[in-house]
Structure 1
């Protein structure tokens, strides 16, 4: 389960390092590269909520094994892709596998260790291995791209998946609850349509302009899908993929909005940052991966301590501090120029990374604490989905704002605009969490 979780999180960051090599190898522009990243993120965000319910109903072992197999097939197809459309389609397959796999890993661990103390240690190991995936992504990706080419970033997953698949067949017992509600298929399909249409509108808007007919059509589809999704979830009630009653809790809405802002700004800016480091500054893939290590290392180091602080004083102050720290880091990125030395970038990356390390456990804990205990699993899934959705939209917006790295002046102006906009969103998130999150992290007991 730890291996599966590690691979899912690794693929969130590892591909960013390979983007310039993919672009030159397959002859695509920034719009194509956005789809390479977002194909995975959109499938993951669209299916995350319903895959957990599917595991409850039909068996987590079955769903996790299917997820591992689909992820492995998608990784192999990515590594062999002859062109960008095939690569994007394979990335969607990877994302489907990741969505099937991710919720079940924790559910299986919880059932495999019924003793509370053993379960806590097992979950701590699972979380610790997962937290290493984010800083490992740029380093592993950079080394693989420089040494073996961009295809190796995907092909390296295949043997790991095979080992995890065989091991899971042997070691994992099935668990299911035939009384669990059926998956919310209308909600899943409408949510997927909303995300894909909105992402297409942003990416195509960056290529063709906001007034292009296909952009306006995609935006209209997104609006209709949003309205239809709201109506469908209200009609389904408590068994909905996104139960409306949860979002009437101000703290729950604030926590998930902050989580969405976090990934929207982080993954969007990271997409442009990696293009800046390699296509503008001319760094190698490994050098670029090393350069962003101060951004991701604090997540692995600070997040556990941030979790302890949050459990003692509540989520409001840690979340606000994390958002403000990240905002200052983003604002400092506006100092980046084509020939800026690394010390110019380092304070921005450190502040940004420290902010994320403090913010991440705070927003997750706040979302879970805002709902009744029996809905904590759903609250965690919604928080994950909010982050993945924010990341997918952020990448689409970032590429549209920055444009092509070959147009260096326009690209840098777009990079600076994106950094300032992200700093502003983080600042707005600070006001939101200070206003709506409770001072103490007390779980809600009532319905």
Structure 2
């Protein structure tokens, strides 16, 4: 008991780091209008403020987990915390949007180094299986609160102290989190395992995703550049697959029989985040630039879509155990599709009370879908939860980065005449994507649920 009590600072530090990583996915959205006016940034550059963080986070997750296994997670988490904190200072002091985007890329790299190790160190530091399950539950619950907390915290900071306060937030959190991790001795942190890191694969993953996102964001204004970068992304993807097949230590090793099921779960997870984070990017601009709400009011306005996520995890787990993970995922997709369709129909002119109902319906579907599709990935490779988790996290973060790029490019500037019709069309497209995925999930042969949580 004394040993467990002595470890609570480390638990808080690691869970705080995880919360911060996920918080920065959404907390910046509310600050975008102020960043745009303060740094004279158009819609494409504002998309990069979000995606410069999301691209390295998505592309480096698999490699950073392997680096932690090779060098020890304590060392990698410390490096990630220090890098994230330093990049946060640079973001807060950025005099131009170019420097801000560069600093956000450094933030995303630090977040990628930090994220896998936060859970790994918690697991390594707890020998008792029951206590370990409770800690993992706490870790997941804290992460689940980051999405709904992001717009509200961002709105409070922007409204009270300006957009730079959003980035100053990361400095004290990382500074406090470093202390318990530093006190963790190298012996307690566990031994690093032998092996090598697929550096070539990691570099190609970063390059390919960066080219693809840049092609989407810059393509409407520079078709030639967009076509070139799109071709470069395709060529890099082929090169990446070739390298992964030949190396002895690929970033992702999946048994042949599990590849189809895991790929299906990753596609659903990626498209989920593509539509969700793309939609949130538009909603925060809609509430501020079109409806004229303050940053805090805009953050609160988006919370009905995010609040159900942390509360529906346990019920969704029980539902998955009863009807199967793919049927539960289908139910979540179809409910969220109804929310998407309702938002598309009301975003142009209905009052917020009507829009709130559809935002809540959207969030309820996501609350059912998220744990179900995570469980589907884990069940695809039950003997390698790290592989399933790494593939799922990478798919979700990649989908989020692409979603912001696509939605920003199609919708255009928030002040343009076509912004509202384009928003309605994008939400309608999201409804169609979710409905089709729901039908396809119903066609998957029933697999057993994950069991009672």
Structure 2 residue 349 is matched with structure 1 residue 349: no
Structure 1 residue 339, shift from structure 2 partner: 4.9
Match of 1:403 in 2: 412
> In structure 1, which of residues 362, 367, 392 is the aligned counterpart of residue 401 of structure 2?
392
Match of 2:5 in 1: none
Structure 1 residue 303, shift from structure 2 partner: 1.8
Structure 1 residue 436, shift from structure 2 partner: 3.0
Q: TM-score, normalised by structure 1?
A: 0.94
> In structure 1, which of residues 430, 433, 436 is the aligned counterpart of residue 438 of structure 2?
430
Q: 1:233, 1:243 within 8 Å by CA — same for their partners in 2?
A: no
Structure 1 residue 437, shift from structure 2 partner: 5.6
Give, in whole Å, the separation in 1 of the partners of 2:113 and 2:190: 15
Q: CA 1:169/1:144 → structure 2, altered by over 3 Å: closer, same or farther?
A: same
String of CA shifts for 1:23-56, please: whole Å, max 9, x gaps.
Answer: 1111111100100000000010010001111111
Give, in whole Å, the separation in 2 of the partners of 1:442 and 1:296: 24
Give, in whole Å, the separation in 1 of the partners of 2:239 and 2:443: 30
Give, in whole Å, the separation in 1 of the partners of 2:394 and 2:68: 17
Match of 1:377 in 2: 386
Give the superposed CA RMSD: 1.6
> In structure 2, which of residues 255, 258, 261 is the aligned counterpart of residue 251 of structure 1?
261
Structure 1 residue 137, shift from structure 2 partner: 0.7
Give, in whole Å, the separation in 2 of the partners of 1:295 and 1:146: 21
Q: 1:247, 1:253 within 8 Å by CA — same for their partners in 2?
A: no
Match of 1:137 in 2: 150
Give, in whole Å, the separation in 2 of the partners of 1:134 and 1:16: 11
Match of 2:54 in 1: 41
Q: Secondary structure of 2:413's match? A: coil
Q: 2:317, 2:450 within 8 Å by CA — same for their partners in 1?
A: no
Give, in whole Å, the separation in 1 of the partners of 2:72 and 2:219: 42
Q: 1:335, 1:344 within 8 Å by CA — same for their partners in 2?
A: no
Count residues in correspondence: 436
Structure 1 residue 404, shift from structure 2 partner: 0.8
Structure 1 residue 434, shift from structure 2 partner: 2.1
Structure 2 residue 184 is matched with structure 1 residue 174: no
> In structure 2, which of residues 350, 356, 359 is the aligned counterpart of residue 340 of structure 1?
350
Matching of residues 121-270 of structure 1 within 5 Å: 121-171=134-184, 173-179=188-194, 181-208=195-222, 212-236=223-247, 239-243=249-253, 245=255, 249-270=259-280
Q: CA 1:387/1:269 → structure 2, altered by over 3 Å: closer, same or farther?
A: same
Structure 1 residue 418, shift from structure 2 partner: 0.6
Give, in whole Å, the separation in 1 of the partners of 2:348 and 2:166: 27
Give, in whole Å, the separation in 2 of the partners of 1:406 and 1:247: 50
Q: Secondary structure of 1:175's match? A: coil
Q: 2:348, 2:421 within 8 Å by CA — same for their partners in 1?
A: no
> In structure 2, which of residues 390, 412, 420 is the aligned counterpart of residue 412 of structure 1?
420
Q: 2:258, 2:381 within 8 Å by CA — same for their partners in 1?
A: no
Q: 1:72, 1:161 within 8 Å by CA — same for their partners in 2?
A: yes
Q: TM-score, normalised by structure 2?
A: 0.93
Give, in whole Å, the separation in 2 of the partners of 1:36 and 1:253: 29
Q: CA 1:236/1:372 → structure 2, altered by over 3 Å: closer, same or farther?
A: farther
